[in-house]
Structure 1
Amino acid sequence: MVVSEDLQRFGNHLIVGICGTVLSDDDKRILSELKPVGVIFFAKNFLDGQPYEVWLESFQKLNQQIREYAERDSMFITLDHEGGRVVRTPLPITRFPYALLLGGYARQVGKATALELKSLGINLSWSPVADIFSHPQNPIIGPRAFGRTPETTAEAVCAYYRGLQEEGILGCAKHFPGHGDTSKDSHLELPILNLSLEDLSIREVIPFKALISEGIPVIMTAHILFPQIDSHVPATLSPAILKEILRDELGFRGVVVSDDLDMKAVSDMFIQRGTVARAVNAGCDLFIISRNLNSVSIERTYQMAEDFADSLRTGSLDELVVVAARERIAKLLAVTPQYSIQALDKDILERHAELAIACCFQGNRE
């Protein structure tokens, strides 16, 4: 298949998931035709239940294949790795507890986590969660948040991010402008938060603002509708949220990435014509398509790529906006380390396990 240049340009804005521990034909097609700028890994990409050396060698071969098919020396190699229930890797990679339990250990845990991620070739962690644990029945954030107030959350997320930085891992603040007060899971449906601009400014965006001051390079959007701010589309598609609040008011100059477009909150929207263009024009630079939640995700991936290409040809997608987004991504990729995969010493992993236990004891006392 001959792939148009405009179709391939979508790859400069794409983080894509891989189906298993070896590349499938669909994986090879996406990597070789769209040439995504990055990949996102999940538990299915690791040989769980195998000895450390065995699953690590398998994962190393998978990474080599990915780069060969994508024909990219530099890529964003990414993982959701927060601790608690959001851990994709097999043992002996450390099981740190939920962020809410880290307290004064946040920086140490960030540093230890980064060291382990580097050993897996990961250079971008989809963390820290900058949401606030403000809704007690929140089904998706809850203790993934670092705190129950804006102030405690801001302090802890910045400490964790400094730990990531110290070991050379890029961080991403998520889910802007705040997912902590929802009572619905955006993996399953579109949450609606009836918060005003003032509500956001005095609570939800405070941790994000602190991380922007720390130089966080990437911020992830929330698939949430805020009808008092934009009654038409969720944050991922909203210029009022991504341009006016994130860019203009908070002064963020880094890369804006969507949460997974396979999530039910937005998955139907993103197979409608013009939606990708709308998101880019609104201020979203980079898109995650995990292929982890949707069995027909290769078709959806190509539908979105074709929508992007068609919108460029018709002019509904502003060329200047695309160039600016591409430049932000390229600038970040240019300073993103490319790590080789190697086993960690047993004593390092033992120290990290002790740190995880210390966090749990502290969290239980609090």
Structure 2
Amino acid sequence: MSAAPTCVDKVFGAMTGPQRVGQLFMGAVTPSAPDRQRIRLMHQSHVGSVFLAGRSSAGTQATKSLVDSLQAQADTVAGSRVPLLVSTDQEGGHVQVLSGPGFSTIPSALVQGSWSTSSLRSQAATWAEQLRAAGVNLNLAPVADVVPASLGKNNAPIGGYDREFGHTAATVTPYSNAFAAGMAQSKVLATFKHFPGLGHVRGNTDTTANVVDSVTTRTSSSLEPFRSGIKAGAPFVMISSATYSRIDPNHQAVFSSVVIKDMLRKDLGFKGVVVSDDLGQAVAVKAVPPAERALNFLSAGGDLVLTIEPNQIPAMAKAVQTRMAQNPAFRDQMNQSVHRVLTAKRQAGLLTCE
């Protein structure tokens, strides 16, 4: 048996129940104005991952000192600190959370897609070095969505912001892979998003309810960037909050076991961490009470609940603890999810079990 699972098993075995549940959550911190009360709340809920949200132009050093203060509060298990996964959205163009001294100004994915893949990989390695200098170990990028040229800017979430590398799966695939490879080269975990693709929708799930993709199927060519990224070892995949009427008309993807367990896990063989898109403020999920959002996503096969609204985490965590106590199958599934999150931390060099 390799050393990694042994280390993960050791940490997992030493955790309390609430500490394990805390590993299933990622709450937002705004680097430009950190809310101490929310940070305290996340600490009390043993939250194991944070997302740097909003926009900050403070630069790498200021960001690092904030992250260091958050890491100093990470849970201690069996005498050792279990550090936080610290993520942000550092795609480029309109979506670059962290800027200022020490950070490059990253062009949009559409521009990145006009470079050679080797050039993108080397640039992405540089951007990842900057993230690491700021204490960030997980990037919620690359965008692996394929926006057809015919839809273009009318695709509000991706095309409207030039977030796609190109307009065909054949273009997007090598570029999303190059971006992820550059991240990995500088030891930042990458996230392929938004599975099974936001390229064929018009509405933006952050601001619009009932966003439906009536095109994508379980065998669509637009899945190729995800399939290829997973083969190459993608550590994280983010799930879309849209509904895919030709895959599972009854559930949004983020709450669909067909999408997560059947397509992502079985069809594509993904073994890494499945993270939700925002389950805090996104209009797409507003109709579902927060505790149910977490339960529905985790039950469907998700591992890590991302919420921009940390105030919801205590209710979410309590609901998960209650369900685990009542339902052994759910408890086993959650324990597997915690193992996946801890394995990602091990991969990021955060867990040491000497």
Q: Which residue of 2 aligns with 1:241?
A: 259
Q: Which residue of 2 aligns with 1:195?
A: 215
Q: Which residue of 2 aligns with 1:18?
A: 29
Please give the secondary structure, in 1, of the residue aligned with 2:339: helix
Q: Which has the larger strand fraction?
A: 2
Query: Do the aligned residues in 2 keep the contact of 1:77 with 1:123 (CA within 8 Å)?
Result: yes
Q: Which residue of 2 aligns with 1:113?
A: 127
Q: Which residue of 1 aligns with 2:110?
A: 100
Match of 1:60 among 50, 64, 67: 64
Q: Which residue of 2 aligns with 1:79?
A: 88
- Distance in structure 2 (CA, Å) of the matches to 1:196 and 1:117: 34
Q: Which runs of 5+ in 1 are unaligned?
A: 292-296, 340-366
Please show how residues 125-144 of structure 1 align to structure 2 within 5 Å: 125-134=139-148, 135-136=151-152, 137-142=154-159, 143-144=162-163
- Distance in structure 2 (CA, Å) of the matches to 1:32 and 1:163: 32
Please give the secondary structure, in 2, of the residue aligned with 1:318: helix
Please give the secondary structure, in 2, of the residue aligned with 1:278: helix
Query: Match of 1:126, as an amino acid?
Result: L
Q: Which residue of 2 aligns with 1:177?
A: 196
User: Deviation at 1:21?
Assistant: 4.5
Q: Which residue of 1 aligns with 2:49?
A: 38
CA change 1:187–1:97 in 2 (3 A) is same
Q: Which residue of 2 aligns with 1:312?
A: 324
CA change 1:309–1:178 in 2 (3 A) is same
1:150 and 2:159 aligned: no
**RMSD of aligned C-alpha atoms?**
2.2
- Distance in structure 2 (CA, Å) of the matches to 1:155 and 1:60: 32
User: Deviation at 1:67?
Assistant: 1.9
Please give the secondary structure, in 2, of the residue aligned with 1:216: coil
CA change 1:20–1:146 in 2 (3 A) is closer
Q: Which residue of 2 aligns with 1:123?
A: 137
- Distance in structure 2 (CA, Å) of the matches to 1:282 and 1:43: 29
- Distance in structure 2 (CA, Å) of the matches to 1:329 and 1:268: 28
Query: Do the aligned residues in 2 keep the contact of 1:123 with 1:337 (CA within 8 Å)?
Result: no
- Distance in structure 1 (CA, Å) of the matches to 2:225 and 2:216: 17
Query: Do the aligned residues in 2 keep the contact of 1:192 with 1:224 (CA within 8 Å)?
Result: yes
1:213 and 2:231 aligned: yes
Please show how residues 345-356 of structure 1 align to structure 2 within 5 Å: none
Query: Do the aligned residues in 2 keep the contact of 1:277 with 1:317 (CA within 8 Å)?
Result: no
Query: Match of 1:280, as an amino acid?
Result: L
- Distance in structure 1 (CA, Å) of the matches to 2:25 and 2:336: 15
- Distance in structure 2 (CA, Å) of the matches to 1:111 and 1:95: 14
CA change 1:281–1:145 in 2 (3 A) is same
Higher mean Cα deviation, 66-75 or 207-216?
A: 66-75
Query: Do the aligned residues in 2 keep the contact of 1:311 with 1:317 (CA within 8 Å)?
Result: no
Please give the secondary structure, in 2, of the residue aligned with 1:223: coil
User: Deviation at 1:313?
Assistant: 2.6
Write the deviation string for residues 241-282 of structure 1: whole angstroms up to 9, x where unpaired.
1111111111111110101112111133242x5442232121
Please give the secondary structure, in 1, of the residue aligned with 2:285: coil
CA change 1:25–1:159 in 2 (3 A) is closer
Query: Do the aligned residues in 2 keep the contact of 1:82 with 1:99 (CA within 8 Å)?
Result: yes
Q: Which residue of 2 aligns with 1:186?
A: 205
User: Deviation at 1:79?
Assistant: 1.1
Query: Match of 1:59, as an amino acid?
Result: T
Please give the secondary structure, in 2, of the residue aligned with 1:284: coil
Higher mean Cα deviation, 326-335 or 60-69?
A: 60-69
Q: Which residue of 1 aligns with 2:5?
A: none
Query: Match of 1:138, as an amino acid?
Result: N
Q: Which runs of 5+ in 2 are unaligned?
A: 1-15, 76-80
- Distance in structure 2 (CA, Å) of the matches to 1:160 and 1:11: 30
User: Deviation at 1:301?
Assistant: 2.1
CA change 1:270–1:107 in 2 (3 A) is farther
Write the deviation string for residues 50-86 of structure 1: whole angstroms up to 9, x where unpaired.
6xxxx54443332222123233442211110000011
- Distance in structure 1 (CA, Å) of the matches to 2:61 and 2:236: 30
Give percent identity, aligned residues only. 24
CA change 1:56–1:217 in 2 (3 A) is closer
Match of 1:70 among 52, 67, 74: 74
Query: Do the aligned residues in 2 keep the contact of 1:12 with 1:37 (CA within 8 Å)?
Result: yes
- Distance in structure 2 (CA, Å) of the matches to 1:6 and 1:131: 37
- Distance in structure 1 (CA, Å) of the matches to 2:252 and 2:319: 19
Query: Do the aligned residues in 1 keep the contact of 2:128 with 2:188 (CA within 8 Å)?
Result: yes
What TM-score results when the alignment is normalised by the length of structure 2?
0.84
Match of 1:334 among 343, 346, 349: 346
- The alignment of Structure 1 onto Structure 2 pairs a total of residues equal to 319
Query: Match of 2:212, as an amino acid?
Result: I
What TM-score results when the alignment is normalised by the length of structure 1?
0.81
Query: Match of 1:113, as an amino acid?
Result: W
Q: Which residue of 1 aligns with 2:6?
A: none
Query: Do the aligned residues in 2 keep the contact of 1:17 with 1:39 (CA within 8 Å)?
Result: yes
CA change 1:28–1:140 in 2 (3 A) is closer
